[in-house]
Amino acid sequence: MLNITKNSISGSFESSKYKSLKFIDKGIKSNVLGKLSGLSLLLLIFLSFLPWTQNISAKGMVTALQPDQRPQTIHSIIPGRIEEWMVSEGQFVKRGDTVALLSEIKEDYFDPNLVENVEQQIKAKELGVKSYMDKVNALDNQIDALIQNEILKKEESKNKIEQSRLKVMTDSIDLIAEKANLEIAKEQLNRMEELYSEGLKSLTDLEGKRLKYQEALAKKISQENKLLSSRNELINAKVVFNNINNEFADKIAKAESEKYASLSAMYDTETQVSKLQNQYVNYAIRSGLYYIIAPQDGYITKAFVNGIGENIKEGQALMSIMPANADLAVEIFVKPMDLPLLQKEQKVRLQFDGWPALVFSGWEGASFGTFGGKIVAIDNFTNDKNLYRVLVAPDPDEEAWPDAIRVGAGALGIAMLNNVPIAYEVWRQINGFPPNYYEAKKDNLSIEEKK
Question: What pLDDT was estimated at residue 360?
Answer: 46
Identify the pLDDT of residue 263: 92
Q: Which of 22-26, 124-128, 414-418 has the highest mean pLDDT?
A: 124-128
Average pLDDT score over the chain: 81
Comparison of pLDDT for 188 and 419, the residue scoring more: 188
Contact 77, 92 (CB under 8 A): no
- Identify whether 441 is part of a domain: yes
- The percent of residues in the chain predicted with pLDDT above 90, rounded, is 24
Band of the pLDDT at 144, cuts 50, 70, 90? very high
Verify that 127 and 199 share a domain, yes or no.
Answer: yes
Which whole number is the average pLDDT over 5-11?
58
Name the pLDDT band for 382 (thresholds 50, 70, 90). confident
Of 18-22, 109-113, 145-149, highest mean pLDDT:
145-149
Q: Are residues 346 and 377 in the same domain?
A: yes
Single-letter amino acid code for the residue at 186: K
78 and 174 part of one domain: no
How far apart, in Å, are the Cα atoms of 198 and each of 191, 192, 205, 210, 366?
11, 10, 13, 17, 179
Residues 284 and 296 in one domain: no
Q: How many CB atoms lie within 10 A of CB 190?
A: 12
Task: Answer whether 0.95 is exceeded by the pTM.
Answer: no
212's CB contacts (< 8 A; 6+ apart) are 185, 188, 189
Find the CATH number of the domain harbouring 93: 2.40.50.100
Task: Answer positive or negative: Cα dihedral of 228, 231, 233, 238.
Answer: negative
Which residues lie closer than 8 Å to 198 by C-beta, 6 or more apart?
none
- Per-residue confidence (pLDDT) for residue 25, from 0 to 100: 53
pLDDT surpassing 80 at residue 296: yes
Domain limits at 440? Answer: 53-68+326-450
State phi, psi for 382 to the nearest 5 degrees: -85, 165
In a domain, 147, yes or no: yes
Cα–Cα distance, 210 to 147 (Å, whole number): 60
- What pLDDT was estimated at residue 435? 63
- Into how many domains does the chain fold? 4
Higher pLDDT, 331 or 424: 331
Indicate whether 30 pLDDT > 60: no
Q: Predicted confidence band at 414 (pLDDT cuts at 50, 70, 90)?
A: confident
Q: For residue 448, what pLDDT band results from cuts at 50, 70 and 90?
A: very low
Q: What's the pLDDT score for residue 124?
A: 92
**Does residue 261 sit in the same domain as residue 180?**
yes
The whole-number pLDDT of residue 369 equals 64
- Residues 130, 83 share a domain: no
Q: Look at the alpha carbons of 300, 304, 307, 311 in this order and tell me if their dihedral is positive or negative.
A: negative
Task: Mark whether 132 and 244 lie in a shared domain.
Answer: yes
User: Is 210 part of any domain?
Assistant: yes
Say which DSSP state 108 is in.
G
Please give the pLDDT value at position 22. Answer: 58
* pLDDT tens digits, 340-378: 778 888 888 888 887 765 544 444 544 456 788 999 999
pLDDT surpasses 70 at 169: yes
Neighbouring-strand partners of residue 377: 391
Are 122 and 116 a contacting pair, CB within 8 Å?
Answer: no
DSSP 52-72: EEEEEEEEEEEEESSGGGS-E
Positive or negative CA dihedral for 320, 322, 323, 324?
negative
Provide the pLDDT confidence category of residue 172 given band limits of 50, 70 and 90: confident
Least confident of 83-92, 133-142, 422-431: 422-431
Q: Do residue 296 and residue 444 come from a single domain?
A: no
Higher pLDDT among residues 338 and 176, named by residue: 176
| Residue 109 located in a structural domain | no
Q: Residue 393: its pLDDT value, please?
A: 92
Residue 415 lies in a domain: yes
* Torsion sign across C-alpha atoms 216, 222, 225, 229: negative
Q: What percent of the chain is predicted at pLDDT more than 70?
A: 81
Residues 170, 264 within the same domain: yes
| Mean of pLDDT values over 78-98 | 91
pLDDT at 134: 92
* Residues 302 and 440 grouped into a single domain: no
Residues 169 and 254 in one domain: yes
> Does residue 271 register a pLDDT over 90?
yes
CATH number of 431's domain: 2.40.30.170
Q: Above 50 in pLDDT, residue 162?
A: yes
Statement to judge: residues 268 and 236 lie in one domain: yes
Q: Which among 414, 417, 326 is positioned nearest to 370, based on CA atoms?
A: 414
- Answer whether residue 278 shows pLDDT above 90: yes
Whether 16 shows a pLDDT value over 50: the answer reads: yes
pLDDT recorded at residue 363: 44
In a domain, 371, yes or no: yes
Burial classification of residue 319, based on how many CB atoms lie within 10 Å of its CB (0-12 exposed, 13-18 middle, 19 or more buried):
buried
Distance CA 332, CA 69 (A): 18
Asked if residue 303 lies in contact with residue 319, where contact means CB atoms within 8 angstroms, the answer is: yes
Asked if residue 442 is part of any domain, the answer here is yes
For position 141, what pLDDT does the model report?
93
CATH code, 244: 1.10.287
Longest Cα–Cα distance of the chain, Å, equals: 223
182 domain-assigned: yes
Model pLDDT, residue 79: 92
